Structure formats: C-alpha cells, structure tokens
Amino acid sequence: MKTGLSQHTGLRQELRINPRLYQAMDMLYMPMMDLQQHLKQELLVNPFLELLEPEDEEQNSETNKEQEKEKEKEKSEKAEEIDWEEILLNGFDVGGTRQQYEELEYVEPVCVETKNLIDHLREQLQFLTLTPRQQFLGEEFLGHINDEGYLSATLEEILGSVNEVLTLRSQSSESADEEDREKEETPPPPPIPAFELAEVEEVLRIIQRLDPPGVGARDLQECLLLQLKEAGEADQLGFRLVSESFQDLIAHRWNDLAKRYGVEPFAVQTAADSLARFDPKPGLKYTDRGDGYIIPDLIVDKIDGQYHVFLNDTGMPRLRLSKSYQEIARDKKSLTPENREFIAAKMNSANWMIQAIEQRRQTMLKVMNFIVDRQRAFFEKGVEFLKPLTLREVAEVISMHESTVSRVTNEKYVQTPRGVLPLKFFFSSALSTASGEDASARSIRAKLQKMVGEEDPGKPLTDQQIVHLFQEQGIQIARRTVAKYRDQLGILPARMRKRV
C-alpha cells in the first residue's frame, strides 16, 4: 500500500441548491401572516424594494381635492371649537353646550387586564378570616392549582414543601438575630412549630369551598362530589353513584348499578345524565387563552354555478423596484467598483423576490384549482362525498414535485362555501369499493358518524353491524378499522351507548 499525496481529475454529478431556492421554498411554506412579516423585513434591508400603494395611481388627481377638504374641515373645526377656559371658569353655559362637549369628547382605549383563576381564588382568600399559618398554606395551595382547577400535588408534597420553606426562613432569621441578641443579651425566641398534615387538610377544605365549585379537587370524582355538595344534592342517587360506584358509572353498567341500589335502570341512567350539567374542568372559565384568528390564504366562491379560486392577498405588501434607486444604478460612471457590486446584488435580489412572490401565487392557484375540480362533489353535497386525494396526484397533474405541493398546503387555509378549512382537509387515504372507485377515509368517518347519529338508542349498532352497513353501500372495510375511526370520532362502544 503506497502512501503519499496525489492529484487526480474526475467527473461526478451533484445537486447543489441555490440559497435563493431555499428562500423560495421557505416562502411557499409560509402562511399569510408569516409572509407579510417576511416581506416587511425585506423592505427594510433592500433599498431597491419599495411598497406599492393602491392609491399611487390616483394620488396626483386627488391631491388638490384632499387639500380643499382639509381646509374646509379646519374652518369648520375652528367654528365649532369650544372655549375651554370659559367652561372651566363659568361652566357649560358659556363657551359651548354640553352636547357639543360630549360629542367631541374622546376617551383613549386602554388595555384591561383580566383576572385568571389564581387571582380569583386569592381575592376570595383575602376576605376570609385566616391565621397567618393558614394564609401561608393557602398561597402554597394556589401555586399547585393548574388551569383546569385541579390540585396538581399531593398533600404530602405540599406539607414537605411548606416545612422546607419554614426551615430556611427560620435559619435565616436566626443568623440575622444572633448579633442583635449578643448586643442586647436577650434570650432567643421559641422555634416556629412545623406544619402537620391535619393543618394541610383543613386548608384544602377551605380552598375547595371557594368559587368555582369543584376547584381544588384531586381527580374528576372529587370534582363532581364537590359540585354535587354545592348544589345541595348530597342525599340523592347521583351523589351515591359518584362516591361509591364511580368506575361502574363511567362504564355505563346501568343494570348492575340498578340491582345494587334497588332501583330501575332508567333511574340510574337519569341520575347519570344529570351529572352532565356539571363542569369537569371548572378552572378553564377563568383561563384567558386568547382568540385564535385564522386568515385564509385562498378563497373559493361560487359565481353563476362555477367555483372560482382567488388569493386572499389584499393585506400582503405589494412590492416594486424603486425608481429612484434604478436611476442611481444606471449612472455607473459615478460609482465605485464596491458600490456597483452592492447595487447589482441588491437589484438582483429585488427582482428575484418579486418573481418568487408571483411564482408562489401561481403555484397556490394551480393547487387549489385542481382541488376544487377534484372535490366538486364535496362542495356541492358535503363531506360524505369527499374523494380520496394524495399529494402525489396533485404533483403529477400540475407538473411539480410532491414536496412543493406539501409546502403549499402546509398551514394554509381556504375560505369555502362550506366554511374555512385547512388545505390538508382535502387529502385523505382511500378505501376500495365494489364499484371500483375509491372512497375517502374522511368521508367514511362522516358516514360512520351519521349512522351512529341515526341509530336506535335502545339497540345501538355494533362495530360488526356497521361493517355490514358499509358493505351494503359497496364499501369494503374491516371491523378494526371501524373501531379505529369510532375512537377518532370520540364515539363510545355499542354497550356504552345503549339507552334503557
């Protein structure tokens, strides 16, 4: 084996992606809000890009009219101006009328802070007569209550936490007071006794009596019991079902519960139905999660019997090349080589950005137009007529790569006559049918939900019976697939759906 340095030539193929191509792919991936922010950032860093306002074409013709209107407005404001000095000295009888003052009064809008669950509970604790030790324990409990209103720590953990804090405070106070006691020669204060589990349990009972009912519970069973007590139903059948037979209750074993308590199955079912009025997550009503707004990237509208696709890009900045900087770029003689290189790079970047935006628009329109043509039955009749569709099918028709279609449909929404939907909604796997045409998995789930909604409550459909109903419609589906779709839809098994 020979060692040493050597040189040789060879040919090979490599795929190198231009950085601008990376940016173009990122722009396809961006939803409308992200793209707006991206273009605004480009306006700041590239002087050759400028914002194209829709009013630019009409600006010159309307300038004079606007100036005349502003002058007339100033004259009218001066005529209606209130003499505030006279009002302060002599009231509303001079300097203007009260009606004028109220009409011209402006109140600046301010942000209002809303109370969360912990603030609501702390405010109630402050109105109670508590000892300092109870107040200290109450604050510790508030720190362990989650957004749903449940206690997220055990009583033993809370006890250990408060005693640890108490020990640290005692050590710090003793070290601080040692010097004072040495100077004054006073005896040390008695040690603060540690908290006991009985104190923790007592404060928990205080927390659980606060509003909203059910707060401070450690599980769903305790939450329902607290709400039943608050409603004055501690002596009714529903309270006994929750406290004594909770597992059988959630399993809907109506006949077993009826024999155990010596009542009719209908009475047990009625008592269980009455529990639905209680809130299983009482703390969420005080949780401000904010409003999630969706701005659709595309709009599908039916005009004269035909579906048309539009881009919802009215809020997106319109870009164009700056004329003033273009004139500077033309005067190459007065520019240094470094300036010419900088101007050429920024000019090319600006041109490419405008082209990339237009390419993004055309790609999104191509994809959505194909979806509308393929899913016309869905727009006309509903989700049960949704056809199976994959990214590869769309890519082959519009002559683009599958990854490009995936980027176009990612986190994009479309406003349709059937509501605002994500583009991913139109893509689903296929199930075979007797006619040879494939059925969409999403449409199968919609049909399953309709079957269960129309079933006899006394004789609910089993998974095998649902399979037979699908086979009568020419759809081949396995029982385990029906069970999987039923779980995805949150539908209980037939035994638990049965009504007496």
Distance CA 392, CA 402 (A): 5
List, in sequence order, the alpha helices (H) in 81-154. 84-90, 98-104, 117-126, 132-142
Distance CA 24, CA 407 (A): 11
In DSSP terms, 422 is beta-bridged to 413
CA dist 2 to 6, 7, 255, Å?
11, 14, 88
pLDDT in tens, 187-236: 555 666 788 899 999 999 999 999 999 999 999 999 999 999 999 998 89
Distance CA 43, CA 184 (A): 72
Cβ atoms < 10 Å from Cβ of 182: 9
Total-model pTM? 0.62
Tokens of 159: 């006890």
Band of pLDDT at residue 101, cut at 50, 70 and 90 = very low
- Please report the pLDDT score of residue 40 as a whole number: 80
Crossing angle for the helix pair 132-142 and 197-207, to the nearest 10 degrees: 70
Tokens of 469: 């109903």
Tokens of 496: 């638990």
Highest mean pLDDT (candidates 102-111, 214-223, 469-478): 214-223
pLDDT in tens, 112-169: 556 788 999 999 999 998 888 899 899 999 999 999 999 998 999 999 888 888 777 6
Distance CA 160, CA 153 (A): 11
Tokens of 427: 């893509």
CA dihedral 122, 153, 287, 129 (to 10 degrees): -10
Cβ atoms < 10 Å from Cβ of 5: 4
Does residue 69 or residue 453 have the better pLDDT?
453
Please determine, for residue 298, whether its predicted confidence score (pLDDT) is greater than 80.
yes
**In the predicted model, what is the mean pLDDT of residues 400-406?**
83
- Please report the pLDDT score of residue 60 as a whole number: 44
pLDDT in tens, 240-277: 999 999 999 988 888 899 999 999 989 999 999 899 89
Please determine, for residue 96, whether its predicted confidence score (pLDDT) is greater than 70.
no
Nearest to 363 by CA among 423, 440, 305: 423
